[in-house]
Amino acid sequence: MKPSTALLALASISALFAASALLRTTQGGGGAPGAVEPPAKPAGFAVVELFTSEGCSSCPPAEALLNELHADARARGQRVFTLAFHVDYWDGLGWPDRFATAANTARQRAYAQTLGSGVYTPQMVVNGREEFVGSDRERAHSAIAGALAGPEGVAFTFEVKAQEGDAPAGAAAHNVLIHAPRGAGLGVAAALTHSGLSTSVKRGENAGRALKHDGVVVALRTGTLDGEGRATLKIARPASPDDTAQTEVVVWVYDAATGAIKGAASRAWPAGR
């Protein structure tokens, strides 16, 4: 081999090693060669509340979006908690919503006061801070992305324990025991949700439609933290209208003055309870 040829071969080998080192640095930092480090999960959280009604013809697209957000968050392991609050002011307009309660309507009216919004359906509220039309897909994704990119929020723990006492017929009474850092002005809430539900609407604006529901709030209790950062909320799981419904408990800590949500967590309801 001629000297010039040998020098050319050596230069090519050096270039190859340099390119290989650059590839390792770009893909995995100090990890295994060729390994691609997964992106870090967002630290924040998003509690997504939808105020809706089975009697409202504008609501099915918003509920479909909420159901999609629910499924997508589970698939991605994101801290997104979806809650469907069915309001009762549509009940006299053709179709009584079996999930609607006056308490849900009162919750929406409270947001109207703190957020300066009207009372309408479908309305979506993210972390008790931002409201918009519940079927606005772009706005929903933007609000949730912003919440997930925010701080982790107040950390707390909770457990669910069976309790002795009175409960409505067909319901199982439990205590939700919450322990959070001490802090003045913090309220706590626990909601039971049913997912995988459906309703065949016979009358009203949605007559003839089969509506699918996830994250339907079937029970809600609120309270405040004591001086030790503890609270006990008594809640009863009502009998599900669908034996295949999945039940979950969602707990959140919020600013008692503004309603802004400071942290949230969830878990499946204890089996057989």
pLDDT score, position 183: 66
pLDDT score, position 122: 98
Q: Which residues of the chain have pLDDT under 50?
A: 1-39, 169
Closest CA to 165 of 115, 242, 236: 236
| CB-CB contact of 115 with 124 (8 Å) | no
pLDDT score, position 91: 95
Q: Which residue has the tokens 């030790």?
A: 228
The domain segmentation of the chain, as residue ranges, is 46-268
Residue 204 tokens read as 């009203």
pLDDT score, position 207: 96
One DSSP character per residue, 45-67 reads: -EEEEEEE-TT-TTHHHHHHHHH
Q: What is the pTM of this model?
A: 0.81
Q: Which strand ranges, in their side-by-side order, compose the sheet holding 216-224?
A: 130-133, 123-126, 46-52, 80-86, 216-224, 186-195, 246-255, 261-268
SS3 letters across 138-174: HHHHHHHHHHHCCCCCCCCEEEEEECCCCCCCCCEEE
Closest CA to 65 of 50, 54, 87: 50
Q: How far does CA 62 lie from the centroid of its chain?
A: 15
Taking the C-alpha atoms of residue 241 and residue 98, their distance in angstroms, rounded to an integer, is 10
- Tell me the chain's radius of gyration from C-alpha atoms: 25
Fold of 46-268: Immunoglobulin-like (2.60.40)
